[in-house]
Chain A
Amino acid sequence: MRSVFPVLTVVVVIFIAWYAGAIALNARWADDKAERAGVELSLTELVADTWSQDKPKLPAPHQVAAEIWKTTGAMVAKGRGFSKRSLFYHSWVTFSSTTLGFLMGTVLGVGLAVGIVYNRTMDMSVMPWVIASQTIPIIAIAPMIIVVLNAVGISGLLPKAMISMYLSFFPVVVGMVKGLRSPQVMQLDQMRTWNASPSQTFWKLRLPASMPYLFTSLKIAMAASLVGAIIGELPTGAVAGLGARLLTGSYYGQTIQIWSALVMAATLAAVLVGLIGLVQRITLKRMGMAQ
């Protein structure tokens, strides 16, 4: 609770800077317009204009909020909450490929981590490549994955989810390898003195010990997965999803649309990561690991 006031202060400062930035960036357009109309703008008129342009360089927060309301709440009120113009619809599209990719990435990541921890050959052959694969800007492959999978007749959710999977499996592998190796040598020796089988050691010691690591990497993986889904929507011809909204917005100079899609994406990220945090708290508390 101690940090509520400082955080609020920072947030307020950000909003002030945002409004000020809107004035600074949009003033030229307003001046030009006034000049063409042959009128002189007073300061208040100028400010009012910069905060209410149609295609501003930087829309003011209330414009973005209004746009978001228009494309979410207002549409729900009209009973068209899921029409193609609704942000709920686009968020849903992005959400579904994010979570699918996240789930696939988690399964792949945990599987690889188990293999790496239990198999020396795999540890030595695969682990360096897993790390190397992340120094590569994967995104470069995104357009191609989409196009290639389209060519073999796979389209829609799966190609996007594949990109999300690729981005999200890495934090899971690294975190889980660390977690599964987190038991001390002493605890592993202890298991040996009881003549425990490898599977008993896994289920009773390694897996529970890895839980805190798993959740930390799941949060990172979820954030990465959302990035993957958004980027995966860029080359699909911009049909649906928050990424598509960004792209069409940038084609037609609809800055308010871009910003509202951005805010929606941020909200989605916050909700998803927050959900994992919640599950983490409950699980660790139940396990007695939260202190």
Chain B
Amino acid sequence: MTWLVAGLAAWALGWWINTTLARRPRTRITRTVVPVVFGLTVIVIWECVVRGLAIPSVLLPAPTMIAVRFIHATAILWEDFVQTAIKGALSGYVMGCGAAVLVAIAVDRSPFLQRGLLPVGNFVAALPIVGIAPILVMWFGFDWQSKAAVVVVMVFFPMLVNTVQGLQETDAMQRDLMRTYAAGYWQALFKLRLPAAMPFIFNGLKIATTLALIGAIVAEFFGSPIRGMGFRISTSVGQLATDLVWAEIVVAALAGSGFYGAVALIERAVTFWHPSQRGRG
């Protein structure tokens, strides 16, 4: 009972702090503090509710329990992280995105291919591509290569569609200007069209970060060596070691947001001129 009351108090306190902060003018500090307070409040309430209602840890472990498990299992978690996030997701991400950009540039030169590939690409991007995971696991074996292959296929189409769209971003006036300079195709591509396409390319890259991790984890559900985040999650669920599952989810969350954050940082450095990035400094 005391725990529940404490949870309620935490909720009231968090809400009060945030409404007070939200009323003040938006600065860098309030923009960071408010979501952090919100997150902490949720965690405290979670802890209090789990303890107050005596929820069995198999169903939902308390945050403190997950933290303890996280610290004790760092060796396993790191091994899984390397297997899934670095070997599977990152290598597939680099190959898939790189291939998509190259194909997009090739497609861009041919209006025929553009008209033919874009609708197909858009269609494929809407399909549940994770479904090919079992096939690719059969083709490339249980180790990280098959995971990377799933990631390549998953990130390819969103990336392709975004890049092609970005390459069409320049307006007629800018292209005419390039023509008055008698700029060649490659000059125009590197000086005008690729820079102009950057916001779109980065949009694709950001979408692809999440897809890459999803692909790598799901592919492990269809077979993997005895390490990897997806493998650990599915086996630990079976063993009812829910705290380890949650620790693994924390790793996935850290990996996902770190990955995304890194791409977003690079984006800010590269496309500082774009209206969506301006005035944030």
Contact surface of A with B, Cβ cutoff 8 Å: 2-3, 5-11, 14, 25, 57, 120-121, 123-129, 132, 134-141, 143-144, 147-148, 151-152, 219, 223, 226-227, 230-231, 234-235, 242-243, 246-247, 249-250, 253, 255, 258-259, 261-262, 265-266, 269-270, 273
Give chain A nearest CB distance to B127 CB in angstroms.
5
Contact across chains for A258 and B134 when beta carbons are under 8 A apart = yes
Q: Determine how close the nearest CB of chain B comes to the CB of A88; give it in whole angstroms.
A: 18
With both chains docked as a complex, state the minimum distance between the C-beta of B89 and any C-beta of chain A, in angstroms.
9
Q: Are B234 and A152 in contact (CB under 8 A)?
A: no
Q: Which residues of chain A are within 8 angstroms of B127 by Cβ–Cβ distance? A: 223, 265-266, 269-270
B35 touches A255 (CB 8 A): no
Interface SS, B side: helix
Is B175 engaged at the interface, CB distance under 8 Å to the other chain?
no
A269 touches which of B128, B137, B234 (Cβ 8 Å): B128
Kindly list chain B residues whose C-beta atoms are within 8 Å of the C-beta of A8. Answer: 116
Q: How many angstroms from the CA of A127 to the CA of B38 in the assembled complex?
A: 11
Contacting pair A121 B217 (CB below 8 A) = no
Please give, as numbers and ranges, the residues of chain A lying within 8 Å of B15 by CB-CB distance.
Answer: 121
Q: Is B68 an interface residue (CB 8 A)?
A: no
Task: Kindly state the separation between the CA atoms of A128 and B257 in the bound complex, as whole angstroms.
Answer: 12
Closest 9 CB pairs of A and B: A6-B116, A250-B134, A125-B38, A135-B260, A137-B213, A10-B116, A128-B35, A3-B115, A6-B115
Q: Are B256 and A135 in contact (CB under 8 A)?
A: yes
Q: Which of A5, A123, A134 contacts B210 (CB 8 A)?
A: A134
Contact of A144 among B19, B120, B237, B259 (CB under 8 A): B237
A135 touching B126 in the complex, CB below 8 Å, given contacts A140-B230, A148-B242: no
Shortest beta-carbon distance from A97 to chain B in Å: 13
Contact in complex: B214, A138 (CB < 8 Å): yes
Given A127-B35, A144-B245, A148-B59, 7 further pairs, Cβ under 8 A: A3-B116, A7-B115, A10-B116, A121-B15, A140-B230, A140-B233, A243-B131
Q: Does B94 contact A (CB under 8 A)?
A: no
Q: Which of B113, B248, B256 gathers most chain A CB within 10 Å? A: B256
**What are 19 inter-chain pairs, A to B, with CB distance below 8 A?**
A3-B116, A7-B119, A11-B120, A121-B19, A125-B38, A126-B38, A135-B253, A135-B257, A137-B252, A137-B255, A137-B256, A141-B249, A144-B245, A152-B59, A230-B131, A235-B237, A255-B138, A258-B134, A265-B128
Give the complex CA separation of A249 and B242 in angstroms.
Answer: 28
A259 touches B237 (CB 8 A): no
Q: Do A230 and B134 touch across chains, with their CB atoms under 8 A apart?
A: no
Q: Is the CB of A125 within 8 A of B37?
A: yes
Which of these binds chain A: B4-12, B195-203, B218-226, B265-273?
B218-226
Residues of A within 8 A of B18 (CB): 121, 124-125
A151 to B230, CA, bound (A): 21
In the assembled complex, the CB of B44 is this many whole angstroms from the nearest CB of chain A, namely 14
Question: In whole angstroms, what is the CA distance A124 to B21 when docked?
Answer: 9
Bound complex: CA of A140 vs CA of B245, how far in Å?
9
Q: Would you list which residues of chain B between 128 and 169 have a CB under 8 Å from chain A?
A: 128, 130-135, 137-139
Residue of A140, A141, A250 touching B137 (CB-CB under 8 A):
A250
Q: Indicate if the CB atoms of A269 and B126 lie closer than 8 Å.
A: yes
- Distance between Cα atoms of A16 and B230 in the complex (Å): 35
How far, in whole Å, are A21 and B59 apart by their CA atoms in the complex? Answer: 46
Determine which of A5, A226, A234, A253 lies in contact with B128 in the assembled complex, contact meaning CB atoms within 8 Å: A226
Q: How far is B76's CA from A130's CA once the two chains are assembled, in angstroms? A: 29
From A123, which residue of chain B is reached at the shortest CB distance?
B22
In Å, the complex CA distance between A219 and B122 comes to: 12
C-alpha spacing A250/B138, complex, angstroms: 8
Choose among A3, A128, A147 the residue that contacts B237 (Cβ–Cβ < 8 A): A147
- Asked if residues B35 and A125 are in contact (CB atoms below 8 Å), the reply is yes
A139-B214 CB under 8 A given contacts A6-B115, A125-B38, A266-B127: yes
Chain A positions within 8 Å of B217 at CB level: 137, 139-140
Q: What residues on A are CB-neighbors of B214 within 8 Å?
A: 137-139
- What distance in Å separates the Cβ of B66 from its nearest Cβ neighbour in chain A? 12
Contact A223 B242 (CB under 8 A): no
Query: Which listed residue (B37, B112, B210, B221) contacts A137, Cβ 8 A?
Result: B210
Give, as a whole number of angstroms, the nearest-CB distance from B242 to chain A: 7
Q: B229, A140: Cβ atoms under 8 Å?
A: yes
How many Å lie between the Cα of A219 and that of B126 in the bound state?
8
Inter-chain contacts of B255 with A (CB < 8 A): 137
Residues of B within 8 A of A7 (CB): 115-116, 119-120
Residues of B within 8 A of A128 (CB): 35
Which residues of B sit under 8 angstroms from A223, Cβ to Cβ? 126-128
Q: Is the CB of A140 within 8 A of B134?
A: no
Closest chain B residue, CB of each to CB of A128: B35
For the complex, what is the distance from the CA of A25 to the CA of B30, rounded to whole Å? 58
Say yes or no for B117: interface residue by CB 8 A criterion: yes
Q: For the complex, is B60 an interface residue (Cβ under 8 Å from A)? A: yes
Q: Chain B residues with Cβ under 8 A from A265's Cβ?
A: 127-128, 131
Complex interface bits, B8-49 against A, C-beta within 8 A gives 1, otherwise 0: 000000010011011100100011001101110000000000
